[in-house]
Structure formats: structure tokens, C-alpha cells
Amino acid sequence: MYPIRLSHSEVLFVDKHKLTHYNAKQFLSVQFKIWKYFINFKSISIFKFENLSLFKTILIGYKQYIMMNLKNLKGFVFYVDILGFTALTQDKIQLTEDDFNIWQVSKHFQTSGNQEFAANILILFREILTNCQNKYPKVNFTQLSDCAFVWSENMKDVILSCHTIMWDCLQNGILCRGGIAYGDIIEDHNSNLGQMLLGNAVSKAVKLEQAGAKGCRVLMDQEVPISLHDYDSAFYLEIYHLFQPFENPLDYQIYDEFKWYYSQGLKDLNTAKGIIQATVERLCLAAKLQYHPRFNWNVRTKEGYIHVKSSMRFTSANEQNVFNIEHTFDWKEMVNLKTRTETNYIRISKKIQDEASSCAITKRGFIKFPPIP
């Protein structure tokens, strides 16, 4: 006897067709239906085969069935990971009551400590992914705890999904880092276990996220801008300013970066009005990193502090390699925890918006925020 486990649906099928002691010839007429049921792994029973050759026939057939359901495509893969989550779940971060209150964790669950706090972050992360998937239905999403894969042949929508996820996560106090790559993607459609995903685009995206860049950056391989231009040149021309080289200070390698944080709306980036609005959005994002208390738990570890500080510095950077604009909110150092309040965040955000309304534009099109009084 050679037992294999069957799910409830498989057991019902076996009972229906009275296959308890089927011989090989009889079984071949219905084995394709059995293969379909093999994708369910909620095993509750055992079905025994009386000869090894029949068992092998079923396994070979099942493998062929799985291979028939694989899909090969070329497109973009975006891999995103929540920074600091491992340290949080391993209790390397000492949380305070204020942390739980800021994240609106019920006092009933605060006794669970870091795990309940981490669960609240994952619930919010999943909600952001779900909303993004509803917004871009042609894109595939799968979440694995504190990370997720996003992929599709529709390269424009993968870029937009990446932008939406990164922006919404940071706005809600979740610091993420990501990688985008172009290449081969192999997927299946097993809804019971989640989609299987592999291919060189998948490997490259993960490698880019893990390249060691500090903060909420999204690194990409060199094929991404070219492939996006070939796929949708009009969209590429709208956002090409946001594809910039990045030198990693850890190994001094040059990577391409998608500067998603330079604009929330990704609109009118070729006009002075659009550039001013994009700069306001970017600086308010930097103000959230600098002042909002939702990031307090991140800065309690050395690595987390570096990630938040690095993110705050490059989102507030007064650089002109993306847009010809000069502002007065170029932060270098972090404020202390007592200064990190929602009130201060709102106050600074309003100051940014007020100053932007008084921007001056030179004859050559250079934009300047008013000088510090």
C-alpha cells in the first residue's frame, strides 16, 4: 500500500466514484479530475493505492497538470519590505504606552506587547496593498508577512502601484524599502497556497531591495526606464525626472533610483505650478518623518534611527538634479523624541505650504522659496 493524503473534496470524489480499490485501467478515465483536486492540501484522510506504478502515474500526471498552469511573461516586479519589523517582532525594541496609543492599539491588547503592535502594522500594510490592488486590477499582489511582491506585464501600473504603496505606507507611519526589476516572470494560479512566483525579475527586485541602501528608497535595474519608455512613452516622459542615479555610500556602487517621494500626484511635473506642488508634497512627507510620533518606535534602535534619518534627509534635500527649485527646509539632523508630536508636524506642514505660495520664478524658470526671515 502506498498512502497519500487527500483533502475533503478529494475524499468526496473518491467516495462518489467508488475508487477505494480501483485498478489502473479504471482509474485512468478519471485521473485528470483527481489531479485537479491535488492542488488542495487541507488533508484530512488517506487514500491507499495497491500498486506503485499507479501511484507514480498519478504523480507524473499531477506534475504535468501543474506545468500546464504555469504562465511565462515579461514585465516589472516590485518587491517591498517593512524596515525594522524583524527587530520589532524579536522584542529588540522597547515600546512605551505612548507608542500603543499613537497607533491606537486597544489597552486590552497592549499586554501582548510587541507582537500585537506588529500585528496592527501588518493589518494596515495589508489594507494599503488591498486598496492598491483594487485601484490597479491588472497588477498581481501577494503579501508574505512584512513584505510583498507586485508584478504585471502592465509596466505603467506596476510603477503606479509602487508609488502608491510607498507613499501610503509612509503617510501612515510605515517605513518601507523596495526594488523594481524588469525581466522574466513565471507564475501559477494556485489560489489555495498563494501564487507561485519566480524568474530573474523576481530575483533582481529582491537583490535591489537588499543592496543596503538606507531609508525608504526604491532601487531599480537599468532596464526599467528603457522598458517603461518602450511600453508607454507618454507616461515615461511625464515622470522621467524621477529616475535618477544613486551612489550607495556602503559600497560606492551606482544604482538607478525611482524617486517616488518627489511627487504625490505625479502630475504636471513639467510645469512650474506642478513642480511647486510636488515640492510641497515632498517636504510635507519629510516633515512627517522628522516630527510625527508614529516613527518613534523606529528610532529606538540604531539601525532604525539611521533609516528614519536617512529618509528624512533625502526627502528634504535641497537639490536641483530633479527639479529647478530651491527651498529652505533642508534638514540634516533629527529632532528629539519630545519634539516629535502631531501638533508640530501639522505646524511645519502649514509653514511649508504658506512659503510655497510666495515662491519666486526667475526668467530662466528657476523657482525659489522665500528666504528665511
Three-class SS string for 12-24? HHHHHCCCCCCCH
Single residue among 235, 262, 289 that ends a domain in this structure: 262
Residues 95 and 200 placed together within one structural domain of the fold: yes
- What confidence tens digit (pLDDT) does each residue in 244-294 have? 998 887 778 888 999 999 999 888 888 899 999 999 999 999 999 999 999
Q: Do 155 and 181 sit in the same domain of this protein? A: yes
Please tell me the predicted confidence (pLDDT) of residue 253: 86
Q: How many angstroms separate the CA atoms of 301 and 295, rounded? A: 11
- The pTM of the full predicted model, rounded to 2 decimals, is 0.81
- Residue 105: the pLDDT is 82
Cβ neighbours for 129, distance < 8 A, ≥ 6 positions apart: 141, 143, 148, 165
Q: Are both 24 and 75 inside the same structural domain? A: no
Count of the separate structural domains present in the chain: 3
The residues, ordered by sequence, that sit 6+ positions from 40 with a Cβ below 8 Å of its Cβ are: 7, 9, 10, 192
For residue 267, the model assigns a pLDDT of 85
Same domain, 328 and 373: yes
* Domain limit, last residue, from 35, 50, 68: 68
Can you tell me the mean pLDDT for 162-178?
97
Question: Are residues 161 and 174 part of one domain?
Answer: yes
Structural domain for 366, as ranges: 267-373
- Kindly state whether residues 226 and 242 are assigned to the same domain: yes
| 34 and 182 belong to one structural domain | no
- Structural domain ending residue among the three candidates 220, 244, 262: 262
